[in-house]
Structure 1
């Protein structure tokens, strides 16, 4: 409720005019609003003060100039509305939700003021005009972009339905602070009404207030209203990079990644030319593409970022590396890491871990070791996953000594080796052609860490037996796997048959093959090739023919 003390009476006294019909006489109109309201209605010309006397010919000429006079009707005031206020009490006027929408519709049909609607006061009592719903000018009603509507459509406010308020305060900074306060308090409708009232009055809120209003509308699910307000402030060029980021993120969340990409492509040229876009806008789009697993679009945004001479931030490269690693694009992840280092940005622990994992897949052990050393120098304690990735990367490169050095460091930092650690170490020994050491390590694991044995560790031992031709040891490992209830695979039997081939034991190889078929394990091409080579060496031609018949059935 707004209280106004000492509200002066305001009168309009009209005199005859050649433009009037003969029915118009000199009348006094008691008008219950301030002089500056008339300033808003009829321009900034100062006509009179309290009491206000206006020559009707002046009013008519002003309206004719403004295009609101059609030669037959007197006034068009379809946009004026306010609630009744109480009579004077102790020189105090109390206005209840005083709202004046000083807006005109040029296309509306004009209506002549009848005697009952005129503000005539013969007994000094205020007679109120009829209540009229405020109207928002058509140019402020902007259609939203095409696309699915929000799930919370019933909570939306429409710009064409909000009420307009008479703004006694005309300072734009003060009104911007009010919008900011209302938006932070999550009073979306009140903030939207105040913003629309400012637009009607020709006042412009600052960018901070507009961004806060957009954020409030989006929190309340009013995407369409947020899009309307966004279009209005975009035309007035009071947008910032945060404005674009806010809207793109909201559109992606509600309408999907494709809609956000379409909106970005439509706005990019304007944002670049007017210097409204920044790296944060591109970060927003990279994040949107990452959530949708669209690494191609993320790479395109990265390329556009460089083409437009923007320098990526730490968040830019964090997002890119994370997206590329998750989508299996290890080369792009490594490229993004190198560009990050060239720009003088220090990667965080998560990025270093991701790059080490990528190097493991690519076999780039030198880069992985360099990043690992950087982590240690920076005081970062790698977790067991990082240690396993590092050991695995070195193992695939055949760097057994370095792999065991990392293993020793892992134990010194208090980490307990797990199944992945043992598999990586066995792989390191095998790739270093240290087959006997691999079998010795396997025996130690079986004795001390029996619970961590799995099929992969057994297969690592079996392939070492195959290289050494230890067919008896291979058969022992094979029977141990079957007794432990492990899921037997063709690979395990192939390793045992391969050990028999190296040891020139064709009959044993055939027995393993028959046992394999009996357990309903399907042979593959490697199984048949190993059997044929073994039987040819042992001159078992009949068996060779049977195997070939089975192979090509």
Structure 2
């Protein structure tokens, strides 16, 4: 709109300069009193600026030759390369348009186009005139500043939004992400704590913002802060969605907080939120680790009804939990289901089945299963499988089978531990073969393995029953000497 500049005021503007006229005719902007922040600190808070007590007096306002378009008017624009434009500094604009809606639309376009300098020019000019953008324009400006690494200016814009009650959940989401990127998770979490304890603004925290904080907590593997966010979410009467509970369950499970993971899942069921496959897999492991095999099996059956295919880890955890609790038939049914879905049993799977049979005192079946593993999947054989098989041999006194397993362990190149020799000696004791037990003991000593007290007692009992008193005497001499040396060494350390 064209305007006729015929009044004395207009001629006065032309004579003294537009900037000086604004400095003398309008009071200082409230925005210039906004806090300044130190980007190098680990704090999201800003430092208050010192403002003159006579700032509302037009006559006492100091003259400024140029008002820069930086957020803080007293800062040097050219210290920030973002505002450099050759040798010209950015100045406040004369706004012929005074409609906040139209100005907000213009600010929105500039921010979305990433024209940072023009956007901040327009915003500073609006603020100087006491005009306020609409919330969506504020958020667009925040996003623009954060994309270009201007966290200090974004924080000051955010403080203005708070003072005008223009903030929304999206505003907090944007500023928290900016703080995380520039200053780290701890600074962002402190800001979040202030937000959720603020009675005025805490209702603006929505499900999306809570999920973002839970994601950040999981990334930092901090289950305590995850629990804090979860409790605050419940205090705000905000019901989570499938993403919320997946984050909670997986975070607690990764930190071995099985009780909290189960609590989160039960709350999910209470709110009738449909869990995804990852949540169900995680909660199966949590139930299994917590010894609640029946709940784990219930969740597993739910996955089967949904025609989902759990991974091998889930099957192994469930089989192991069922086996430890004496549910052998259920463990083998889960194993059959595992094979029908095309999964290949691992060493952990076979060991869980062997342990299940031993817990149920089905030692013969355990040895037959071990032979099947030897013939069909010898690559799965490992130290745990061998030792579990030796335990089954000991229970039934199958000393010949125990010797075969021991020689196979040595031939395979495994580092045979002391416990394996001890179990073979115990098997010979149960099978009433003292001479064989003595030979295993001598071979053990030759391999530079030191037997423990239980092994020596088992060997001595076996030799006494076999009337091998001379051997018992030699064993006692060696064992008593070692025990005495160990006792004296421990006294020496204590002194």
TM-score category, normalised to shorter length: 0.7 to 0.9
| 3-state secondary structure, aligned to 2:233 | helix
**1:319 and 2:247 equivalent?**
yes
Out of 454-463 and 364-373, give the one that drifted further.
454-463
Equivalent of 1:133 in 57, 66, 69 = 66
Q: 1:476 to 1:236 in 2, by over 3 A?
A: same
2 CA distance for matches of 1:524 and 1:165? 88
- TM-score computed with the length of structure 1 as normaliser: 0.72
Q: Which moved more, 1:491-500 or 1:344-353?
A: 491-500
Change in CA separation of 1:514 and 1:542 when aligned onto 2, cut-off 3 Å: closer
Segments of structure 2 that go 5 or more residues without pairing to the other structure are 29-55, 486-495
Alignment of 1:493-512 (within 5 A): 493-512=421-440
Judge conservation of contact 1:165–1:197 (CA < 8 Å) in 2. yes
Which of 5, 8, 12 is the matching residue for 1:10? 5
Aligned to 1:439: 367
Equivalent residue, structure 2, for 1:189: 117
Q: How much has 1:444 moved relative to structure 2?
A: 1.0
C-alpha distance in 2, partners of 1:246/1:432?
Answer: 58
Q: State the alpha-carbon separation in 2 of the partners of residues 8 and 172 from structure 1.
A: 21
SS at match of 2:229: helix
Q: 1:509 to 1:196 in 2, by over 3 A?
A: farther
Which residue of the partner structure matches residue 231 of structure 2? Answer: 303
Aligned to 2:214: 286
Other structure's SS at 2:204 match:
coil
> Is the CA contact (8 Å cut-off) linking 2:320 and 2:356 kept in structure 1?
yes
Q: Which has the larger radius of gyration?
A: 1
2:143 aligned with 1:215, yes or no?
yes
Change (3 A) 1:507 1:270: same
Equivalent residue for 1:544, pick from 457, 476, 482 = 476
Map 1:73-112 → 2, pairs under 5 A: 107-109=60-62
> Which one of the candidate residues 293, 296, 301 is aligned to 1:368?
296
The aligned counterpart of 1:29 is 11
Aligned length: 445
Q: Does 1:391 align with 2:391?
A: no
Which deviates more, 372-381 or 520-529? Answer: 520-529
SS of the residue aligned with 1:512? helix
Task: For 2:108 and 2:449, locate their aligned partners in 1 and report how far apart those are by CA, in whole Å.
Answer: 71
Give deviations 1:230-270, integer Å, cap 9, x for gaps.
Answer: 11111111111122222223323332232222222223232
Deviations 1:264-296 (A, max 9, x none): 222323265563223333333332222222211
Q: Indicate the SS of the match to 1:347.
A: coil
Determine the C-alpha separation between the residues in 2 that align with 1:295 and 1:215.
Answer: 29
1:536 CA drift (Å): 5.8
CA pair 505-190 structure 1, distance change in 2 beyond 3 A = farther
Structure 1 residues 69-125: Cα deviation after superposition (integer angstroms, max 9, x where no partner): xxxxxxxxxxxxxxxxxxxxxxxxxxxxxxxxxx998655459xxxxxxxxxxxxxx
Contact 1:179 1:213 in 2 (8 A): yes
Which one has the bigger helix percentage? 2
For the residues of structure 1 that align with 2:283 and 2:58, how far apart are their CA atoms? 63
Q: For the Cα contact (< 8 Å) 1:355–1:368, is it kept in 2?
A: yes
Check the 8 A contact 1:353/1:386 in 2, yes or no.
yes
Q: Which residue of 2 aligns with 1:329?
A: 257
Offset of residue 522 of structure 1: 4.7
Q: Is it true that 1:470 corresponds to 2:398 in the alignment?
A: yes
Task: For 2:90 and 2:324, locate their aligned partners in 1 and report how far apart those are by CA, in whole Å.
Answer: 68
Distance 1:501 1:331, change over 3 A: farther
TM-score (norm 2): 0.79
Q: Is the 8 A contact 1:271 1:277 kept in 2?
A: no
Match of 2:52 in 1: none
Per the alignment, residue 516 of structure 1 pairs with 444
Distance 1:396 1:174, change over 3 A: farther
